[in-house]
Structure 1
């Protein structure tokens, strides 16, 4: 694991082929990369000091039971030509070839509006009604490539994650490939194996990002496996029928719940929080999907470890911070994966929201939680000015440098590692950018030699199990787990992030003065009593939306039992929240578009202070003291001035003004500005510290820090 833990990596699209494999008129596998350009990019990064490299590597699985390693070997020869001591982490996709579906129609994923019998499924394989990408598109998007296959309106897709046949055949594919690599000339330079399958190779279920009719798997193997799972869970057919409100249920007639039953937007709190009798099967279906995905990951991880002599194995997983449908996509089995002996690292792309210059950045996963037991590898999918894709792009070299430093600092603070990603080719093909990366890598080497000690006094807590308690809702998810965390991180102080389950295992939480609970809808009072004792007596707890509303059953009174303040159902009369006095901003905070989820207001009571109100003056955020300070945010759309005020009341130490993101530990202090500003250097910066972005040592006269908009400063402590 030393390579993976202590060396930054570089990833290019070398080896990027059509998946599932398709062949051109010349009979060759369709590939989307320029071999010579990719070799040049890898050599550039090698010269910048990066010895750990990664890319896609074709599995060789060209047809059902047929293997050809011609393309595989071309990629291996190319990557190892880039440097004599280069180490390589291949990413291997294990999705089925197209003719596999013809031979195994029972093992394919079928959408809700697709056929239910094997012959009609078989008839659609490799036709326009076969969604081979897992999402609607006018073909594979690669700059410079024009796909001749439109991929829209499919009703079947590729392998079902519940298919045992797929796991057997993919395991054989993986076993053969690893032996081919390990027995070849470069086996001792392979650092580990990155297992990949599903949408974009990210272990997400086919169709999981699409509209409602593409939300789930209604194929033959999934229906059978779901029934079998239910029998194991409930012990008898009679108990299963009661639980799923299906008196005539059998293995022959089972049908997973329809998409609109699982997701349909509703402003009825009981339905939204899945309290109705018909909601039990929806919760179970998502738990089943998570079990199936975890089964596949562990199966392939075990094969890879056994075949490679125990080399590190990992996969993309755990995207609940960016993926509202994490339950159905199978990305919630954190405890199982983090405790698996067959998985060593988890990877994910950097968060795709709030990641531009001046923003705090973020992850799609709970990185610090992963790093407690495994290693998180952050895929830095951050576009530089050389990217043709404008989404999330830094348009100037100065802005790009700020983003590069921020992503580096974020990962150093959280104990993660990362790879610089060049998705479409040439993102770093500039002496200026390569020089900046070379400077970052020199600092990284120094930082990694020191033992980190955390300093954050602010903690953000999320709970993957909260997804089972609500219907997926894009706007609420964005407010709770994307925008609110970003605003919390813009308060000028470092912020830690762990899961609820971590708090049960961590012994000492006394460092934290202000704790933000983001989506704790299901809270066991016994667990909360254990956790609460670990915090300092004057800790300030800040709860979002409807904390503990299922305990275990839905009841609004559960919220008051948890935080001392009551929630009432509320029909949103306007779209804005307003500060309720003091130092809070007078400017209105709008609710998001499409906010058709249940809304709440806070019942007024003696001793309660209101921080924010709706247009009609009903309380939307309030503070109450019941032995501990509690803040309840009923409408989760507050901005950084509100959060900074809450932190200030908790006695949090600030390193920089509001509207800045700070990453820090005992080894460094880094600050990233959204606007032009000047402020005193914080006390953690001492004379002799080195400011790495400007290349200046801190002197006595260096008492104030001047920053431009979207600027970066990184102080390395001596």
Structure 2
């Protein structure tokens, strides 16, 4: 074991030396002082950064001036489901990376020594879906359109079970990385944040629009293969499902009537409804497999020299939804915790109680479990301050500078005490363009650097343990998680003792 660790350390040292010579950065997550920490070319970094959907040179300059040197921006290796970046895959064997190049160079114009962590959205362009209609996600009513909501106008999505689609994503990621590494800015890229699904956050298609998926041919075939791997024989499947005619060759995705039922109060009875439980578990496994497969492709393409991450694990937040947690695709946390290809995970801070004074800051997931598995948690600080004039009330918009500062200091406390990284989400630009706010943010950036020298071991006195698989046994209209997770979050946040979410 010691020999193995020595060889790993030696290899890393050689990689860092090679990096210094070739100017290609080596980024990784290492354990330091009790917590996972971002390292770039052998040096620890606070992972304090910024992200935007609307890149503006003036925003980059003012944030660089207060000490931020890690910048995220939206791009795509093929087609973004949301209109926050341009298509890169514009036709068969036809690619256009001009917007990617422009956005990367814009950051470096403002801050030549900045590090880059692009958010890479993956989906499928319309022309590809036209060529492969059988690979399109299908909903329980037979339609294949994700209904309009939040920037999406009735569009199709690829089934995440589609082998053809997954292979195309991996090929396009590799092609994009080749392009990046051939550019002048390639030496500043430290990793890739892979995004897909609803709101880029890997919730399965249809989740926010109350549409149940996935009834496509690839989706049905993948479910049958999953059942075969779990039960091994038709006889066992028939016994567990209570259906003498069930076979791996003929098993169907449960219809909407099945998936909307509740057998005992809020619960599904496995004797009656195991097919629904199985499908809930399968859907999350499928999403997790996608994330893992794409992360592994990036790791292999970059020879393990870049960090890779994703949004995932929103158990403490999406309980509010009409169909609640079961069909979200976010139950397979354990699978991803153990995946060595993934270095960091992320979510916004909870939207549940954001007001200053009466609210609180808490992450959406089981962040202590991620920490204990060596994964860095990255907080998406998308608090809508007094300059976010286009913000919606449900996102916690505040109207004064003092309120804005109170929110950011509160959020910083949550980040520092949990050893997390963070990006200030300058979503539509100009959200921080006030010298009084920037002055305080500069102090926050310095505190992030100082925190690198402090012990990150947990001081929690209370453990809050959540089973990520248990929601699979709840009906689609359940309220138990809404009560048990959403409402109790305020109790945990305000009862005066440090706690860990596992």
* TM-score strictly above 0.5: yes
More helix by share: 2
Equivalent position SS for 1:174: helix
Equivalent position SS for 2:68: coil
Match among 244, 268, 283 for residue 241 of structure 2: 244
In the TM superposition, residue 253 of structure 1 has moved relative to its aligned partner by 4.5
State the match for 2:101 in structure 1.
73
In the TM superposition, residue 250 of structure 1 has moved relative to its aligned partner by 4.8
Task: State the distance in 2 between where 1:251 and 1:475 align.
Answer: 33
Q: Does 1:304 align with 2:301?
A: no
Equivalent position SS for 2:157: strand
Match among 113, 131, 136 for residue 141 of structure 2: 113
More strand by share: 1
Task: State the distance in 1 between where 2:192 and 2:137 align.
Answer: 26
In the TM superposition, residue 407 of structure 1 has moved relative to its aligned partner by 0.9
Equivalent position SS for 2:130: helix
Distance change >3 Å, CA 473–CA 487, structure 1 → 2 = farther
Task: State the distance in 1 between where 2:127 and 2:272 align.
Answer: 38
State the match for 1:598 in structure 2.
none
Could you say which structure has the larger radius of gyration? 1
1:533-555 CA deviation, whole Å, 9 max, x = no partner? xxxxxxxxxxxxxxxxxxxxxxx
Match among 42, 49, 57 for residue 75 of structure 2: 57
State the match for 2:386 in structure 1.
385
State the match for 1:171 in structure 2.
170
Structure 1 segment 613-628 matched on structure 2, within 5 A:
none
Q: Does 1:46 align with 2:61?
A: no
Task: State the distance in 2 between where 1:273 and 1:251 align.
Answer: 26
In the TM superposition, residue 458 of structure 1 has moved relative to its aligned partner by 2.5
Match among 417, 420, 441 for residue 416 of structure 1: 420
In the TM superposition, residue 65 of structure 1 has moved relative to its aligned partner by 4.2
Structure 1 segment 269-668 matched on structure 2, within 5 A:
269=265, 272-310=266-304, 311-324=306-319, 325-358=324-357, 359-373=359-373, 374-388=375-389, 389=391, 390-391=393-394, 392-473=396-477, 475-498=479-502
Q: Does 1:158 align with 2:135?
A: no
1:174-209 CA deviation, whole Å, 9 max, x = no partner? 000011101211222111111111112111111112
Unaligned runs of 5+ in 1: 14-32, 116-120, 122-129, 142-149, 499-718
- 4+ residue segments displaced more than 6 Å: none
Q: TM-score, normalised by structure 2?
A: 0.83
1:623-656 CA deviation, whole Å, 9 max, x = no partner? xxxxxxxxxxxxxxxxxxxxxxxxxxxxxxxxxx
- Identify the range of structure 1 (465-474 vs 330-339) with the bigger mean alpha-carbon deviation: 465-474
Distance change >3 Å, CA 276–CA 366, structure 1 → 2 = closer
Distance change >3 Å, CA 487–CA 177, structure 1 → 2 = same
Task: State the distance in 2 between where 1:41 and 1:449 align.
Answer: 29
In the TM superposition, residue 473 of structure 1 has moved relative to its aligned partner by 4.1
Equivalent position SS for 2:206: coil
Distance change >3 Å, CA 439–CA 159, structure 1 → 2 = same
Task: State the distance in 2 between where 1:371 and 1:341 align.
Answer: 14
Match among 3, 7, 11 for residue 51 of structure 2: 11
Distance change >3 Å, CA 396–CA 493, structure 1 → 2 = farther
Task: State the distance in 2 between where 1:193 and 1:423 align.
Answer: 19
In the TM superposition, residue 404 of structure 1 has moved relative to its aligned partner by 0.5
Task: State the distance in 2 between where 1:432 and 1:342 align.
Answer: 41
Q: TM-score, normalised by structure 1?
A: 0.59
Match among 89, 94, 109 for residue 117 of structure 2: 89
In the TM superposition, residue 254 of structure 1 has moved relative to its aligned partner by 3.4
Task: State the distance in 2 between where 1:347 and 1:64 align.
Answer: 33
The answer to whether the 8 Å contact 1:161/1:293 transfers is yes
The answer to whether the 8 Å contact 1:216/1:259 transfers is no
1:671-702 CA deviation, whole Å, 9 max, x = no partner? xxxxxxxxxxxxxxxxxxxxxxxxxxxxxxxx
Instruction: Give aligned pairs, total.
Output: 442
1:86-124 CA deviation, whole Å, 9 max, x = no partner? 001001011000111111122111000016xxxxx6xxx
Q: Does 1:100 align with 2:137?
A: no
Task: State the distance in 2 between where 1:302 and 1:217 align.
Answer: 24
Task: State the distance in 2 between where 1:327 and 1:475 align.
Answer: 12
Distance change >3 Å, CA 67–CA 250, structure 1 → 2 = farther
Task: State the distance in 1 between where 2:348 and 2:439 align.
Answer: 24
The answer to whether the 8 Å contact 1:354/1:483 transfers is no
Task: State the distance in 1 between where 2:47 and 2:339 align.
Answer: 24
In the TM superposition, residue 496 of structure 1 has moved relative to its aligned partner by 2.2
Match among 133, 136, 145 for residue 148 of structure 2: 136
Distance change >3 Å, CA 395–CA 493, structure 1 → 2 = farther
Task: State the distance in 2 between where 1:113 and 1:431 align.
Answer: 53
Equivalent position SS for 1:328: coil
Equivalent position SS for 1:162: coil
Distance change >3 Å, CA 84–CA 365, structure 1 → 2 = same
Distance change >3 Å, CA 252–CA 339, structure 1 → 2 = closer
Q: Does 1:191 align with 2:216?
A: no
Distance change >3 Å, CA 99–CA 420, structure 1 → 2 = same
The root-mean-square deviation of aligned C-alpha atoms, in Å, is 2.0
In the TM superposition, residue 238 of structure 1 has moved relative to its aligned partner by 2.8
In the TM superposition, residue 394 of structure 1 has moved relative to its aligned partner by 2.1
State the match for 1:615 in structure 2.
none
Task: State the distance in 1 between where 2:234 and 2:495 align.
Answer: 54
The answer to whether the 8 Å contact 1:192/1:312 transfers is yes
The answer to whether the 8 Å contact 1:49/1:441 transfers is yes
State the match for 1:29 in structure 2.
none
The answer to whether the 8 Å contact 2:223/2:279 transfers is yes
In the TM superposition, residue 5 of structure 1 has moved relative to its aligned partner by 5.3
Task: State the distance in 1 between where 2:397 and 2:95 align.
Answer: 39
